[in-house]
Amino acid sequence: MSSSTLDKLPVGASARVQDVSGDPALQQRLLEMGVLPGTEVTVVRFAPLGDPMEIKVMGYSLSLRRSEAAHVSVEVAS
């Protein structure tokens, strides 16, 4: 087990969300969209220009900017 933030995960990596921070609006949006402690997220790809990134969460695909993903701390099962 190792801790990281979502934006730093490589393509294909899965992890469990530990905490979601950021300014209140961002935190609330992330939580509403299902990115909350305990959920599993998988990095699918990064956009051709390097940002944003696509993740799988709760069975659907979500695009978010790396700066936003940096507020999601995750735990990678090794």
Partner 1 sequence: MTEGHARHDRHTVALMGNPNTGKSSLFSALTGTRQKVANFPGVTVEAKIGTARFENSELTIIDLPGTYSLAARSPDERVATDALLGRIDGTAKPDGVIIVLDASSLDRNLYLGTQVLEFGLPAVVALTMVDVAESRGITVDVKKLSEVLGVPVVEINAPKGRGIDELKSTLHRTLHHPGKVLELEYSEDFLRGVDTLHEKLCDLGVKLGFKPARPEALRLLVDGAGPFFDDCEAVGGEEFVNTFFEIRERASAGRSLSMIEAQARYGTIGKWMQEVKQTEAREGRTKTDVVDGILTHKFWGSLVFVLVMGLIFQSIYSWSGPLMDLIDGGFGALGDWVGGMMADGALKSLVVDGIIAGVGGVLIFLPQILVLFLFIAILEDLGYMARAAFLMDRLMSRFGLNGRSFIPMLSGFACAIPAIMGTRVIEDRNTRLTTIFLAPFMSCSARLPVYVLFIAAFVPEMKVLGFIELQGLVLFAMYWVGVLAAIPTALVLKKGILKSKVTPFLLELPSYKTPRVKAVARTLWERAGSFVKRAGTIILAVSVLVWAAGYFPHSQSVDDTYDAEIASVEAEYPEAVVNFNPEEDDESLLAQFKAIDDAHEERVAALEEEGAEDLEEATAESKKQRNAEMAKLSGKSRLAADALNDYASWKTLQEQRGDVENRRAGEHLEESFLGQAGHAIAPAVAPLGWDWRIGMAAIASFPAREVIVATLGTIFNLGSDQDEESDSLRDVIKDAKRADGTPLFTLATGLSIMVFFALCAQCAATLAVMRRETNSWKWPIASFLYMTTLAYFASLVTYQVAHALGA
Binding of partner 1 at residue 77 (CB under 8 A)?
no
Which DSSP symbol is given to 57?
E
Interacting positions 25-44 with partner 1 (CB under 8 A): 25-34, 36-37, 39, 44
C-beta of residue 8 within 8 angstroms of C-beta of residue 66: no
CB closer to partner 1 out of 2 and 36: 36
How many residues interact with partner 1 (rule CB under 8 A)?
35
Rounded to the nearest angstrom, the gap between the alpha carbon of residue 43 and the centroid of all alpha carbons in its chain is 7
Residues that bind partner 1 (CB under 8 A): 20, 23-34, 36-37, 39, 44-45, 47-52, 54, 58-65, 67-68
